[in-house]
Structures are given as C-alpha cells and as structure tokens.
Structure 1
Amino acid sequence: MGKRNLKIKEEKDSGFSAIASGRFTNKDGQYNVKRTGINIFDRYSWYHTFLLLPRFKFIGILVISYIIANLFFASIYYAIGIEHLTGIDKSSPFQEFVDVFFFSAQTFTTVGYGRIAPVGALASFVATFEAFLGLLGFAIATGLFYGRFSRPRAFIKFSEIAVVAPYEDGMAIMFRAAPFKNNMLSEAEVTITAAIEEKIDGKMVSSFYQLEPTLPKINSFSLNWTVVHKIHSESPFYGFNEEDFKNTDIELIIMIKAFDEVFANTVVQRTSYITPEIIFRAKFLPMYHSSEDNKTTILDLDKINDYQKV
C-alpha cells in the first residue's frame, strides 16, 4: 500500500462503490458489473447487446438462427408427412429432408415456391405461420444491421499500458489514445479517475480521486494524444515511488468524449489501467512520422504500445 496524500480531497460522486471488487471498468470500456435479482429478460437489453456484439459473432448468430429456424420447420413438415408437399424427390430419406429444408428456406424468406408447394390445410397453415415469422425475423435483422452501421462510435484505440515517466522537473502518469478510423473527431475531452485501495478504519476500501490532465481538451483529434497527469503536491500519487506503485491496487479509469463531425453527435469511449498495466520509469516512443515525399503524416497505430525504460 502506498503513501496516502492527505492534502487531496476524495471524489465522492465518482459513480463507483468503495467496496466493489475487481476492476471497475474493463479494457473494452464496459463496466465490470454483474446484475442479479431479476430474470434474464429484464436484466438485458437485447437490442443493446446485439449492437455491441463483435461483428463476426453478430453475423454468426444471425446465420445460426436462420439455419436452426429452417431445421425446426423442416422437421415439422417432415413430421406432417412429405405427401403434403408436391415435387419432393423421394429417392432417399436424406434427399427428402434436404428438399423439405430448402422448401422451408423458400417459405421463411418469402421468395416463392419452385417445384415444391404445400398441399392441404395443415401444411399450408405451417407455411403461412413460417412466412409470418420470416417477415418479422428479417425486419428485426434489418433494424439491427441499420443500428450497427448508423450508431455513432468513437473508434479510439488506447495503449494497453500506462507509464510513469520523467516530466519537466518531476514525474507524470501518461497513456496514449488515437483514432483508428477515418472519422473526424474534434473538441476531444479526457477525464481520469483514480481508484486507490487504502486502509481506512481498519478496512481496505477504494478511494476515488479526480486526476487533472495537463491538457484536458484538444480541438482536433487526428493524431495520437499522449494524455499526461503531472504528479505534483495536489496529486494523490505525490510521494509514490516505484515500490508504492507496484504494491498499491490502483485503477485509472479513463473516459474520452469527442464530437463526431460526420454524425454531428458526441461520442464516448472508455478504458482503464490497473497496477500491472502501469510501467514505472518508462516513456512512449514516437508513433508517427512524415511520408517519403513530406506531404503526409503517417500514424503507425501498431506502435501505440511501444515504450522504453528510462
């Protein structure tokens, strides 16, 4: 446990609990909170869940759901009896089921029938109900696709580590962030909240402090931004040495807010750094340079984590 700077006023309205366990914010910016006490349908917003899913997982769920739905209805048609479907190839049971599956796909997508069509009230009723579910399913899928593409996002990449580096006449905590898409961000602001585990009244609790960046706002966020918090007498880390940083449970909770000029909306991205992710006496290496013709600036995003010990 490090030395507590008694001059610093603790932040009381951070939104986090002093007795929470684990990191408060995950690396991806999601809050590390698990909610219980209500059923799963009330606990999750499925719309938000599907909007936040990784791209390939989202597409995979849609494809698997489509296949499962068609297998389900194909099984119903097969159970009813293939004699209620005209044009079935009866060369083998497997071929019969394949034909029924593709008939189900044609019904589900409402593309119309080829050589296979339902015969009788029961098969026609199942086909009608499946077509209705297909229309609803594709409407939902279309809405989700539109929501994912149209939702404003910050597209900011943070360094995986923060460093404690020499700065001016002392030391400073630094981390890097950079936009990785061709979106236009301006009026970017950063806030840093430090959660420090301390022993108070015989109990280990987390105390929260607002860290002041040397440059809390930039007008144009086009290159990398090295955010710096100078450790001075008004900092909760004043007097900390390398051992204090290593032996104290620290979490730096970061939030960058910027204005997306394309969507004309404010976008937000978060991350956090815990003690093992804070490197003492290190500095970041440059990650941008001029092009060969000196007409363009090259930003090497794969160098965002590059540092050297000092």
Structure 2
Amino acid sequence: MSALRRKLGDEYQVVSTSASGGGLPPPRSAPRGKRQRFVDKNGRCNVQHGNLGGETSRYLSDLFTTLVDLKWRWNLFIFILTYTVAWLFMASMWWVIAYMRGDLNKAHDDSYTPCVANVYNFPSAFLFFIETEATIGYGYRYITDKCPEGIILFLFQSILGSIVDAFLIGCMFIKMSQPKKRAETLMFSRAAVISQRDAKLCLMFRVGNLRNSHMVSAQIRCKLLKSRQTPEGEFLPLDQLELDVGFSTGADQLFLVSPLTICHVIDAKSPFYDLSQRSIRTEQFEIVVILEGIVETTGMTCQARTSYTEDEVLWGHRFFPVISLEEGFFKVDYSQFHATFEVPTPPYSVKEQEEMLLMSSPLIPPAVSNSKERNNSVECLDGLDEVGAKLPSKLQKITGRDDFPKKLLRMSSTTSEKAYSMGDLPMKLQRISSVPGSSEEKLGSRGAKAAADAMSQSVAELPPKLQKLSGGGGRMEGNLPPKLRKMNSDRFT
C-alpha cells in the first residue's frame, strides 16, 4: 500500500484493489450469461449477410476486391488452382498442334522440321510451355518458323500469362500488405472505468501502441450501441449514438507514442446522463471504439476496433500509471496496462447530482427579474424618445422637458423593484412596511408632486395663446384644434 501511495501521490485514496494480482478488476458477485456482442474484442464484427437472392452477382462484378476479402486458405487454393488449370490447358494446346501436324511420330527424324523441336508427347509439351511461361529457356525445346499456328498460340500464351500473373500476384500482394496485422500491435484496455476527473464524472479507457513506428494522424471515435423504442412505437435494435471524446476540443486527435487514457465527460449532452452505479447493473449497451491512423512505414490507413459491454465498465475505478522517468528516457510498463484500482466515486448519476445540488442551493436572487424589469423600462424610454423625435419642433417645445417621462419611469421602476424585494423579507418586516405612510407611499407622493411641477413648468413655457387655452389643465386638451389633438394623443400613446 505504501508503494502504491508513493506511485500515485498522497491525495489519492485507494479503497481496495483486486486480490488476483496485477490490479485486474474484481469479478462481479452475480455474473450474467454470455453477452452477444456486435463487435468482438479483437475488432471482428459479428454480422452475417443472408438471403441476398440475386444480389450475389455483385460480388463477381468486383472480383478483385472479392478475392482480397477472402480468407488466406481460399486465396491460396484459388491461386494454385488457377495456375494449374492454365498450365494444363496451354500444354494441351501445344500437344494438339504437334499431334495434328504429325510431329509426335517424326520427332526423331533429323530431316523433318517440326513446329516445336523435341516435343514428341504430352510431358514434353508441358515442359515447353513451362519454359516459355517462366522464361527459363533451356534451349533444348524451341519453336520454329515452319509453324504459323504455333506462333499465334505463342502470342496468346504471352498475353494470357501476363494477365493471370498481374491479377493473382497483385491480389496476393495487396492482401499481404493490408494493414490489418498492424492493428494487432494497437492495444485497448480490457475494461473501461467510470470515475471523477477534474470534478467531472468521466468514462475512460486506455489505448497503447506497441511499436516504435508512429500512427500518423491518429484519430479515435466512440459509438454507443443500444436498443430503444421511438415515441411512434418503432423498435431500433442497434441504435448508434456518438460519444464525444474530445471532438470539439481536438482531444480526439492522438499523438500515440505512449499509452493514453481516452476520456468521455458525462454531462447533460452525454447518453450516460442518467447512468448510475445502480442502473448500470440493469442496462444493456455496447461501446464500440474505433482507432484510425496512417501507418508510418507503408502510408496505408489502418483501423483498430474493440468494444466494451456493460459488464466491462467498472464504476469507481481508475487506471494504474504505466509511465515512469528513467535516466534519459521514459519507460512504459505494459504489465500494468490493464490494471485498475478503486477510488471514491459518488454512486449517483450526473442528473441526480445536479438535482441534489439544486435542492441544497439557495433560491435565485430577485436581481434577475429586476434586470428584466429594468430592460423593459429602458425599452419604454427608448420608444418614447423615438416618438418624440418624430414630432415637429413646435410640438417638441410644447411638450416641455425631454427628461420628464424618463424620470417617472425610473421612479416607477425603482418602486417596483423595492416592492419585489419586500416579498423576500420576513413576515414581520413586511407587516411593518405595509403600515400607511410607509416609504412606498412617500415615494408615490413625491413622484406625483414631481410630475405636477414638471407639468406646471411645461405650461409656463407655452406661448400666451396656448396658456390661455390650457386654463385648468384638463380643458387644454379639449380646446386644441383636431390636428394638434390627434398629434398630442399620438405623442402620449
């Protein structure tokens, strides 16, 4: 335990480690039956296509790709069978020409010029074809100029042999150079873990590269396969959801020279937003991990795959560190690549944690709503300014001071804010504040007085004729001409 604390630091508290050695995850108390996987741990997809009907002819239309996709035993069988049939067929053609010309009976006659010298049976015809096809050229069997049909067959043999060589040898070369075996040296951890990192609940797994050659432009993606039913009643047996492993931040672009821990932050956008330690025992899902990159030595694209089922996701675990600093280099200990240990982790989902945090947090202060009221008042002021700017200059002078309506609105907004804040006070203070003659009434009287003073000042500034028309204040509106009355009503509405 002391060695573990020296390795991880004093801030990490180990709850328990597996007793099997090497830090492997402990077995669960109630193991399930064999889980049907969509993608095996080695990356092979468990999908078989059946009942193709007439669509099988599509495989023959792309024969080269079909041969490359076949297994090695079928490739070798087709390779040997094709060359054997071609050799036997062409040797038979040479034997037929010698038989039809009578060269088989006169092969030992020195005065007779055959089509092919020293061909007197089928084995000799077969040897002549092999020597010609493989360009061995022993010099004992050769074609003469007395056989035009042999010259035509020789040309046909050369063309056909080049096509067969290019097709089969090219197929074998492509199959041997495929980077599938390069994926064998890309490792994934046997289990994924869920624990906290930077105060956030994260799903993590580990990736490593066993070779010294790098994977250029390595990129990793994760898919969540889970069955669900739509609101319309449609059942989706393998619904694919994207797991963000750093696409927005660029963390999915890997510099894979040492083992890396890939992290998926569980938040409101994550499919695991409702996942907890209790619900993971009843869920059924599969996480498919796809690692793509360019092989540095060959320049070909390589893809490695693996998957994690719900039984292979360990709640409250963390991976052991595998990198240590030596003299002049960093050493990677792959014996601890799959090892995990337990750490204190809340058993609740992120959704439950947020709900508990909201329940324990104080109420939202009224400043938010007050800010909305202030914005509304400012919008009203702006609207009044726009209306006033559209009036003629004389009417703008008639209306008096420009800041008069703004003052009233500001006073009303402050009184509404104070009234809203009164609702948050205790009951005793609310009763005291509700007594007649309180500050609210005083503010209201002050506002009315300020409005009356402003109106009196505006009337005093009017021309003498309009002051006479104004009279008692209320009669002014009735004595105005219809045009001014309409413009005045538009001004205040």
Pick the TM interval, shorter chain.
0.5 to 0.7
**Measured at CA, do residues 43 and 115 of structure 1 come closer, stay the same or move farther in structure 2, by a change above 3 Å?**
closer
Matched-pair contact (CA < 8 Å) for 1:190–1:216: no
The structure, 1 or 2, with the larger RCO (C-alpha pairs under 8 Å, 6+ apart) is 1
Once the two structures are aligned, what percentage of the paired residues are identical? 17
1:204 lines up with 2:265 in the alignment: no
1:195 alignment counterpart: 225
Q: Secondary structure at the match of 1:256?
A: strand
1:177 alignment counterpart: 207
Matched-pair contact (CA < 8 Å) for 1:187–1:259: yes
1:269 lines up with 2:303 in the alignment: yes
Q: Which runs of 5+ in 1 are unaligned?
A: 1-20, 91-95
1:93 alignment counterpart: none
After superposition, what is the alpha-carbon deviation per residue over 1:174-233, rounded to whole angstroms, capped at 9, x for unaligned?
333334555433443322221211233555313332212257334622223332223344
1:66 lines up with 2:52 in the alignment: no
2:28 alignment counterpart: none
Q: Secondary structure at the match of 2:165?
A: helix
After superposition, what is the alpha-carbon deviation per residue over 1:34-59, rounded to whole angstroms, capped at 9, x for unaligned?
49453434566344455566778756
Deviation, 1:270, is: 4.8
After superposition, what is the alpha-carbon deviation per residue over 1:79-133, rounded to whole angstroms, capped at 9, x for unaligned?
665937654697xxxxx64x55443333333444543346856665544422221
**Measured at CA, do residues 199 and 124 of structure 1 come closer, stay the same or move farther in structure 2, by a change above 3 Å?**
same
Deviation, 1:163, is: 1.7
Structure 1 letter corresponding to 2:312? I
Deviation, 1:262, is: 6.4
1:163 lines up with 2:180 in the alignment: no
TM-score for the superposition, normalised by structure 2: 0.43
167-176 or 27-36, which deviates more: 27-36
Matched-pair contact (CA < 8 Å) for 2:202–2:264: yes
Mapped to 1, the partners of 2:306 and 2:299 lie a distance apart of: 27
Superposition pairs of residues 174-253 of structure 1, within 5 angstroms: 174-201=204-231, 202-205=233-236, 206-213=238-245, 216-218=251-253, 220-241=255-276, 244-245=279-280, 248-253=283-288
Mapped to 1, the partners of 2:94 and 2:46 lie a distance apart of: 46
Q: Max radius of gyration: which structure?
A: 2
**Measured at CA, do residues 56 and 34 of structure 1 come closer, stay the same or move farther in structure 2, by a change above 3 Å?**
closer
Q: Secondary structure at the match of 1:103?
A: helix
Mapped to 1, the partners of 2:189 and 2:72 lie a distance apart of: 22
Matched-pair contact (CA < 8 Å) for 1:245–1:275: no
**Measured at CA, do residues 308 and 176 of structure 1 come closer, stay the same or move farther in structure 2, by a change above 3 Å?**
closer
Mapped to 2, the partners of 1:287 and 1:143 lie a distance apart of: 43
66-75 or 130-139, which deviates more: 66-75
**Measured at CA, do residues 223 and 26 of structure 1 come closer, stay the same or move farther in structure 2, by a change above 3 Å?**
closer
After superposition, what is the alpha-carbon deviation per residue over 1:245-275, rounded to whole angstroms, capped at 9, x for unaligned?
565442333333446666778x452524153
**Measured at CA, do residues 22 and 74 of structure 1 come closer, stay the same or move farther in structure 2, by a change above 3 Å?**
farther
Matched-pair contact (CA < 8 Å) for 2:243–2:264: yes
Mapped to 2, the partners of 1:86 and 1:29 lie a distance apart of: 57
**Which one has a larger percent strand, Structure 1 or Structure 2?**
1
**Measured at CA, do residues 173 and 85 of structure 1 come closer, stay the same or move farther in structure 2, by a change above 3 Å?**
farther
Mapped to 1, the partners of 2:81 and 2:322 lie a distance apart of: 41
Q: Which runs of 5+ in 2 are unaligned?
A: 1-35, 105-114, 343-493
1:17 alignment counterpart: none
Task: Provide the aligned length of Structure 1 versus Structure 2.
Answer: 280
TM-score for the superposition, normalised by structure 1: 0.62
Superposition pairs of residues 281-292 of structure 1, within 5 angstroms: 281=315, 284=319
